[in-house]
Amino acid sequence: MDAPGPPNPHYKWIALSNTTLGVLMVMINQSIVLIALPDIFRGIHLNPLDPGNTGYLLWMMMGFMVVTAVLVVTFGRLGDMYGRVRMYNMGFAVFTICSVLLSVSWMDGSAGALWLIGWRIVQGIGGALLFANSTAILTDAFPADQRGTALGINSIAAIAGSFLGLLLGGVLAPVDWKLIFLVSVPVGIFGTIWAYVKLHDTGVRRKARMDWWGNITFALGLISILVGITYGIQPYGSSAMGWSSPWVLAALIGGALVLVLFVVIENKVPEPLFRLSLFRLRAFTAGNIANLLISLGRGGLQFALIIWLQGIWLPLHGYSFQDTPLWAGIYMIPLTIGLLLAAPVSGWLSDRLGPRAFTVGGALVIAASFGALMVLPTDFNYWIFAFLLVLNGVGSGLFISPNRAEIMNSVPAESRGVGAGMNATFQNAASVLSIGIFFSLMVTGLTHTLPPALHDGLIQQGVPASQASALSHLPPIGVLFAAFLGYNPFQQLLGNSLAKLPDGGAHITSKEFFPHLISEPFHKGIVVAFWFAVTACLIAAVSSLLTDRVGRKHPAPDWPAESLGSELAAVAGEGALSLSELVVPDEPPR
């Protein structure tokens, strides 16, 4: 075993600075694509509202998140084995290289979309390496009474980055859509070099073997479920959604069965990928349940707000569709402000006062903000809307860092990497699940109210009854995507028929007509989705209450170090399955 040298007393701040930069870069890059999608599709000359292109749109949005959710637990485990800093550094380099490749695309149409989707998926591998190991690096570097503050700052970077991405996307994409990827390159180069020079593992190594069957079954099962959800929100036959599709059902049921097999394998192998014994710690289990539910409740919020602002409220208030991406990002800033106000304070105070008041209170505040958003009219007063966004951000800031610190403090030192990976898996998988749930619930709310609204609105503008009837049966998910992208689909769908209308189609193609037409059905759909979010947050509050209570009654046992698996890079380099070394952390420096 190789023992590390004495730690630099300033090392913890170096670790915090670099991991914060890495997480900030990843989250900016993830959300910058959301706001820039209209410019991306225009840039590669692909119509996102064509039914055959819906899959490209979904995978452009969700491919990064799917692969991150699948791989983050594996990479957290490999960080335990191979060295957390080494895996983290690799993630920084992979992410930066992919940013370059995404910005040099020369293809159009389907080929261009596949190029972007493919490299976004590879970039998700880099993101998973960064996410899975940054939390464990911080937990190793900081003493227990400072971890909440450190993780709080890291969490601020993660969520603030998602909203900074909206602003940057709104500014850069209209200039050139390739700039949204190129902007990460200088930051990535600097961060990669800095990480390789300054970061180091504070651990010793032990030999272990890789849990290959666990890796394979976990990846296949989770990918199958997430892919099933991705296609479940698309139309199938005459149905508004694809949940009755044999392929979707096969993906969901098959994925669930493979995950059951994964659990069986993990209970039998001596060195499992997913240390299920951690779930014996009820503080770990209840904390992850709360994290999962909050992520489910909040995960689809960003999409719902972008649709609400970009597709309805901003056009109704005179903003052109070309300007709505930027202004949607600007008008969502209060959400980030609330987070920035609450997260550092909650992290610092929870280190001293305990987490329960903050995790329970934060979940309740988030639930209250969703309840208040439900009663807002679609054409709301912005300052009331901004206050509710601040309230939602404050609730998130109160919850996030105490919850993460509580979970990480409950696990043994040698399991911090896999514990962080498991925690991140729940959060990332919940984000993908939440998008599917939010879209599904919104489509459910739209199904009965949208067709008559479209039919009557088109008839009033002189569209022939037969044509209005056909257009009134547009798939609700297509209408949501049109609003999300700031498109008025009737200009394309009516085509030459517009010239035959009394005003030449001027009103139908105006920026107010489509948003006004769908505003009432959209409100009914979003209320259904927000009811789900309220319920999830209330259950999370109960789980957080139990976390604190059982955490005191059942502290984490002083487990001996376990052998965790074989080292991935050594296996690849030697071309064979062999014994290798494992990184296990010492006590964190104080």
pLDDT, one tens digit per residue, over 478-489 is: 777 777 776 777
pLDDT in the model for residue 298: 82
pLDDT at residue 568, rounded to an integer: 25
Question: Looking at residue 305, what is its pLDDT?
Answer: 85
Total residues belonging to the chain: 590
Tens-place pLDDT, residues 4-24: 444 566 788 888 889 889 888
Cα 491 to Cα 178, 316, 496, distances in angstroms: 27, 18, 9
Whole-number Å distance between alpha carbons of 585 and 205: 9
Residue with tokens 């929100």: 233
Whether 169 has a pLDDT exceeding 70, the answer reads yes
Answer yes or no: is pLDDT of 202 > 80: no
H helical segments located in 83-146: 84-102, 109-141
CB 84 within 8 Å of CB 136: yes
pLDDT value at position 402?
A: 86
The average pLDDT across 62-83 equals 77
Q: How many CA atoms lie within 13 A of 360 on its CB side?
A: 12
Q: How far apart are CA 135 and CA 407, in angstroms?
A: 11
Bin 374: left if φ > 0, else alpha if -120 < ψ < 50, else beta. Answer: alpha
Judge whether 344 and 367 are in contact, CB under 8 Å.
no
Helix (H, G, I), strand (E, B) or coil at 104: coil
Report residue 432 CA to chain centroid gap. 6
Which amino acid does the sequence have at 183?
A: V
Nearest to 79 by CA among 39, 130, 30, 45: 130
> What gap in Å lies between CA 540 and CA 543, rounded to an integer?
5
From 236-240, 292-296, 531-535, the region with the lowest mean pLDDT: 236-240
Per the model's pLDDT, the better-predicted residue between 563 and 407 turns out to be 407
